[in-house]
Structure 1
Amino acid sequence: MSPPWLLLTGFEPFAGDTLNPSWELARRLDGERFGAWTVRARCLPCRFDTAPAVLGQALADEPAAVVCLGLAGSRAALSVERVAVNLVDARIPDNDGVQPTDQPVVAGAPSAYFSRLPVKAMVHAAQQTGVPAELSLSAGSFVCNQIFYTLLHALQHRPSIPAGFVHVPRLPDMPGGDGPGRPLPLDDQWRGLRAMLAAVAAGGPDRRDFGGALD
């Protein structure tokens, strides 16, 4: 039996960017240990037609835990996603020029899945390092949500595996986002994400902090 490992994915650049901080973070953490787990980083294509298959290939190697990362340029904090929805509705084309609208991620599957990560413990851990972090109730409807949903659907019969998604902000030297987000340096994102992964590896129940939303 191979040693337990944590699959950490990021995405290739998209929408004209030359880098994607989600992949920069994943590859920077490749090989690090968190508890009994060693991180293995994988880069996913920002392409609706091929990203699920690349994720599936990585899942076939049976990771002990999975954390997927993606860029949300309008965010100002590390955003731990709580729910993946069975919807693809692309506001912009992917890297193949594909722009599906109003389609399910998986036909006939449940409308949504909840994250299987200790989401509140992760947010708290990052905040304790001084890095802005938050819970999020929407992973969007682009390739990030597609991968988040695909991940949880693929693992639906393996409930012991922690799995979920974290959105990261843009970097200071990247073009501005389309919302109120503020850039966050890569070193800060790395520090906060390391704390989050340590919280996942620690196991145990999630924190009972107030963390809902009014809008």
Structure 2
Amino acid sequence: MLQPMRILLTGFEPFGGQSLNPSWEVARALHGVWVAGAQVTALQLPCVFAQALATLQQALADVPDIVLALGQAEGRCDFSVERVAINVLDARIPDNAGQQPIDIPVSAGGPAAYFSTLPIKSLVLGLKAAGFPASVSPSAGSFVCNQVFYALQHTLAGRGVHSGFVHLPLLPEQAAQWPGPALPSWPVGLQIAGVQQALALLVAHRQQGLGDVAWGDGALN
């Protein structure tokens, strides 16, 4: 009897003085949910450079079929499906432990970058077809989001797991309190529905028997 497909969905704790983070609000809402026959497990990651990777590695020890890591990106107005993670930490603000690494590698001696192994362009097209604004993003930045994305791809390289990163817009409650010009935001229910649709698309892609996605496929499909 075939085992059901397993999805790991990660989100971050709030950071930068905020009390909410859409990535975790969405992930925890989908914890335990079955999407297209696959079970979702949510994991909260600390927004702390020195702790995030240990938490992630523990969850990856029981290798899932699909990993979708989520993060918050103020100013984004859609689901931003990230193309590449780079081997550098260059924090514009301190993390939740007050640390602010500048020009430090995520993995000393590791490759300069890793591409997503998700079918990123097919994913964007599928989200748009379902009514959710989405785009391919060329950069996951250089904060803890990028650190997690890089470590995720590094750990799972060649293991047949479809994995990658998506940045989410702010929640309206956050945008209302953000200093400066108004920023785009999406209600949490809309973000949950969009991520659930993304997961369904990823399950369908894997069920087609496409197996592991090489960087070129993940970057260009």
Asked whether the two chains share a fold, i.e. TM above 0.5, the reply is yes
Separation of aligned partners in 2, 1:195 and 1:82? 19
Shift in Å at residue 4 of structure 1?
3.2
Aligned to 1:186: 188
Q: Secondary structure at the match of 1:7?
A: strand
Separation of aligned partners in 1, 2:190 and 2:146? 24
Shift in Å at residue 2 of structure 1?
6.3
Which residue among 201, 204, 207 is the counterpart of 2:203? 201
RMSD: 2.2
Separation of aligned partners in 1, 2:62 and 2:117? 19
Aligned to 2:172: 172
The amino acid across from 1:94 in the alignment is D
Aligned to 2:152: 151
Q: How many residues align?
A: 208
Separation of aligned partners in 1, 2:118 and 2:182? 27
Separation of aligned partners in 2, 1:161 and 1:178? 41
Any residues of structure 2 matched to 1:62-211 within 5 Å, and which?
Answer: 62-158=63-159, 160-174=160-174, 175-176=177-178, 181-203=183-205, 204=208
Higher helix share: 2
> How does the TM-score come out when normalised to structure 1?
0.90
Separation of aligned partners in 2, 1:119 and 1:157? 18
Separation of aligned partners in 1, 2:150 and 2:139? 12
Separation of aligned partners in 1, 2:77 and 2:114? 25
In 2 relative to 1, CA 55–2 (structure 1 residues): closer, same or farther, beyond 3 Å? farther
Separation of aligned partners in 2, 1:76 and 1:190? 15
> How does the TM-score come out when normalised to structure 2?
0.88
Query: Which range moves more in the overlay, 141-150 or 193-202?
Result: 193-202
Aligned to 2:33: 32
In 2 relative to 1, CA 81–178 (structure 1 residues): closer, same or farther, beyond 3 Å? farther
Shift in Å at residue 38 of structure 1?
0.3
Query: Which range moves more in the overlay, 27-36 or 53-62?
Result: 27-36
Alpha carbons 1:83, 1:138 under 8 Å: kept: yes
Structure 2 portions without partners, runs of 5+: none
The amino acid across from 2:50 in the alignment is D
